Amino acid sequence: MEVQAGELLSKINYPSDLRKLDSNRLEEVCNELRQYIIDVVSVNGGHFAANLGVVELTVALHYVLNTPYDQLVWDVGHQAYGHKILTGRRDVFHTNRIYKGISGFPKRSESEYDTFGVGHSSTSISAALGMAVASQYKGETDRQHVAVIGDGSMTAGMAFEALNHAGIENSNLLVILNDNCMSIDPNVGALKEYLTDISTSKGYNRFRDDVSSVLMKISELGPNAHEIVKKIEKSIKGTILKKSNLFESLKFRYFGPIDGHDINHLVKVLEDLKHIPGPKLLHCVTVKGKGYALAEKDQTKWHAPGLFDKITGEIKKSYSDKPQAPKYQDVFGHTLVELAKMNDKIMGVTPAMPSGCSLNIMMKAMPNRAFDVGIAEQHAVTFSAGLASQGLIPFCNIYSSFMQRAFDQVVHDAAIQKLPVVFCLDRAGIAGADGPTHHGAYDIAFFRCIPNMIVSAPMNEEELRNLMYTAQLKNHGGPFSIRYPRGKGVMVDWQRPFAEIEVGQGRKICDGEDIAILTLGHIGNEAVKACQELNADGYHPAHFDMRFAKPLDQNMLLSIFAKYDQIITIEDGCIQGGFGSAILEFAADNQYKGQIKRLGMPDDVIEHGEQQELWEECGYDKVSIINAVKALVVARPVKSLVG
């Protein structure tokens, strides 16, 4: 649905138009930009509160900087809607995150203003530093490089690795710390407490303002003045500020904290900072959800609320007369608490996604046994391994795509040491509107190659519960991974008694002739639907839910090889190295002479869209499965086959 932009905003196609305005009109621009974001996101969905929080910052940056020559890098990029609207994409913004529409994150192929592709957090300082060093090398001394990073994203190790490096590079880098005290959930950790301390310490702020304004004035007087500034800084800031300022200790010049919603002050400060060389950090304090009262009040709920009525604030739900199956996330959250009540060794760990993965249920019920460790996937894995080394059983829940960050920790800290960490990989498979950075495409492939690792995937809620139950019964000789997708399962009546599943044992869903369909995980439900339609058309494939990509159910596979000349494998993951590849390897090792067709994500970047649209595009939704079977098998007369 197209939404009309305000009068001023509708004339701003690019930042060059913005820069023609008198600065006293910027507040108006901010109001219209904020309203436009509210109007479009309410009917289209997407990230909301973070975008409202950076409206002033976005306008000020594009007003002061000479983008795209000056380089602006957004961390995560979930807050870059204002940036997109001001940089040539206002009229296509209604296609944001929609299949074939623009991406919900900055993307280099989409615009020259998108200097760096993002989606995962905490990459902005490294990327902007790389750009700054490249400019220095090329002699582009007039070029500005700015990384905008949130307080949540600043908790990741990668951000600190970049600060550590940037502090000794004398390149032109400005880091803007957008501090709203929030990650998706409330931000956590000692850094958050430190930032709150320096934002609220009145005496320090007054002193800092005085020193900064004097230093900025002197620094405008020319090259020699910088030397004087440095000396003054060394003696004054060195003794007073450095002691208390983390960023100064890392050789950044620290400015702020300033009000990130005061557009006029922001413009002035950013102008001043353009004339100060070397690594600098500007600490901006903002409010997540700024300007939409409900979002300011419940920032987690309004991080990405889905569609809503912008007047009443009512978030739209899909209503149905029929009872609905739960989300896998909720099954995980409730089941973990159930198991933890039975087994006092169980602990819960999430890197910054407690409400996303539903560990918040355990954090509330058992606060001393469940940890949000901040955006810190590597730490989450090794922390879990540490817990496991002491006889505990951590359930470490990480979105599949974020787990890409922690591969070494899984190998080095958990698998080699045979530690029984249970890795629950949420959002495994096609993630949907978040797109390629968030699809859980690779985990089967990258976990399957790790020794001592169990790789499993439930086809429904009951299977998820039973896999979780099985994983904590004993040490299976190393980590136990369980992957499941974003969204709903298929069972309304899911809270059934626990039953152990034998590790490496698949199950037959239905018997058949001519061809066997082997599935892993929830995508097996598409195969169930496909088989029903195929049966009516006279095709009778057998269907096996293999449950494990590692170890494989070798006995079941050998009997399948003996009976069927044709096999289709289906997985919601990349086909290179994944579940289908595991079957191919086993088939080759056992001289299987039949034909094996693999369905899964092709060796390509899968863009954004709804899960169902992308399953279809990748060729493993119900219809694609039907077509694949029909292409391989000759139809037989309809007859009933009970599996």
Ligand X SMILES: Cc1ncc(C[n+]2csc(CCOP(=O)(O)OP(=O)(O)O)c2C)c(N)n1
| Annotated binding-site members for Mg(2+) | 151, 180
Please report how close the Cβ of residue 608 comes to ligand DXP at its closest, in angstroms.
Answer: 11
Q: Which of 60, 304, 406, 454: binder of ligand DXP (CB under 6 A)?
A: 304
Q: Token match 């859980």: residue? A: 440
Active site residue 377: yes
Q: Which does 485 bind (CB under 5 to 8 A by kind): ligand DXP, ligand X, Mg ion, none?
A: none
Residues 6 or more apart whose Cβ sits within 8 Å of residue 371: 347, 348, 349, 350, 363, 383
Please report how close the Cβ of residue 265 comes to ligand X at its closest, in angstroms.
Answer: 20
Q: Which does 427 bind (CB under 5 to 8 A by kind): ligand DXP, Mg ion, ligand X, none?
A: ligand DXP
β-bridge partners, 300: none
What percent of the chain is helix, strand and coil (3-state, nearest 5)? 45, 15, 40
Q: Which does 375 bind (CB under 5 to 8 A by kind): ligand DXP, Mg ion, ligand X, none?
A: ligand X
> What is the distance between the alpha carbons of residues 151 and 14, in angstroms, rounded to a whole number?
29
In degrees and rounded to multiples of 5, residue 327 shows phi and psi of -75, 150
Between 184 and 520, whose beta carbon lies closer to ligand DXP?
184
Q: Which stretch binds ligand X (CB under 6 A): 71-79, 101-109, 311-319, 579-587?
A: 71-79
User: Does the protein bind ligand DXP through residue 356 (CB under 6 A)?
Assistant: yes
In degrees and rounded to multiples of 5, residue 298 shows phi and psi of -125, 80
Q: Cα dist. 344→255, 358, 369, 395, 588 in Å? A: 47, 19, 9, 13, 44
User: Does the protein bind ligand X through residue 359 (CB under 6 A)?
Assistant: no
User: Does the protein bind ligand X through residue 150 (CB under 6 A)?
Assistant: yes
Q: Which stretch binds ligand X (CB under 6 A): 10-18, 176-184, 326-334, 477-485?
A: 176-184
Q: What is the CA radius of gyration of the chain?
A: 27
- Total residues binding ligand DXP (CB under 6 A): 8
> Is residue 129 a contact partner of residue 77, using CB atoms and an 8 Å limit?
no
Q: Which of 29, 76, 337, 415: binder of ligand DXP (CB under 6 A)?
A: 76
In degrees and rounded to multiples of 5, residue 411 shows phi and psi of -70, -55
Please report how close the Cβ of residue 138 comes to ligand DXP at its closest, in angstroms.
Answer: 33
Long-range contact pairs involving 506-510 (C-beta distance under 8 Å, separation at least 24): 506/544, 506/545, 506/546, 506/547, 506/548, 506/553, 506/556, 507/544, 507/545, 507/547, 508/542, 508/543, 508/544, 508/545, 508/556, 508/643, 509/543, 509/544, 509/545, 509/643, 510/542, 510/543, 510/641, 510/643
The runs of H, that is alpha helices, within 151-299 are: 157-166, 190-200, 202-219, 223-239, 241-244, 246-249, 263-274, 293-297
What x/- string results for residues 366 through 405 when contact with ligand X is judged by CB under 6 A?
A: ---------x-x------------------------x--x
Hey, which residues between 34 and 53 contact ligand X (CB under 6 A)? 50, 53
Between 140 and 610, whose beta carbon lies closer to ligand DXP?
610
Hey, which residues between 115 and 134 contact ligand X (CB under 6 A)? 120-121
Q: Which does 540 bind (CB under 5 to 8 A by kind): ligand X, Mg ion, ligand DXP, none?
A: none
> Is residue 461 a contact partner of residue 325, using CB atoms and an 8 Å limit?
yes
Kindly name the residue from 89, 280, 288, 465 that is annotated as catalytic. Answer: 288
Active site residue 405: yes
Residues 6 or more apart whose Cβ sits within 8 Å of residue 142: none
The runs of H, that is alpha helices, within 98-175 are: 124-138, 157-166
> What is the distance between the alpha carbons of residues 577 and 267, in angstroms, rounded to a whole number?
51
Hey, which residues between 381 and 440 contact ligand DXP (CB under 6 A)? 427, 434
Q: Which stretch binds ligand X (CB under 6 A): 178-186, 224-232, 531-539, 589-597?
A: 178-186
Q: Which of 182, 267, 425, 501: binder of Mg ion (CB under 5 A)?
A: 182
Q: Which of 122, 135, 144, 180: binder of Mg ion (CB under 5 A)?
A: 180
Hey, which residues between 566 and 595 contact ligand DXP (CB under 6 A)? none
Cis peptide, bond prior to residue 257, ω within 30 of zero: yes
User: Does the protein bind ligand DXP through residue 156 (CB under 6 A)?
Assistant: no
User: Does the protein bind ligand X through residue 435 (CB under 6 A)?
Assistant: no
Q: Which does 153 bind (CB under 5 to 8 A by kind): Mg ion, ligand DXP, ligand X, none?
A: ligand X
In degrees and rounded to multiples of 5, residue 517 shows phi and psi of -100, 125
Copy the structure tokens of residue 230: 């440095």
Q: Which of 184, 424, 428, 454: binder of ligand X (CB under 6 A)?
A: 184
> Is residue 5 a contact partner of residue 37, using CB atoms and an 8 Å limit?
no
Residues involved in catalysis: 288, 377, 405
The binding site for ligand X (CB under 6 A) comprises 50, 53, 76, 78-79, 120-121, 150-153, 178, 180, 182-184, 288, 352, 375, 377, 402, 405
The binding site for ligand DXP (CB under 6 A) comprises 76, 78, 184, 304, 356, 427, 434, 486
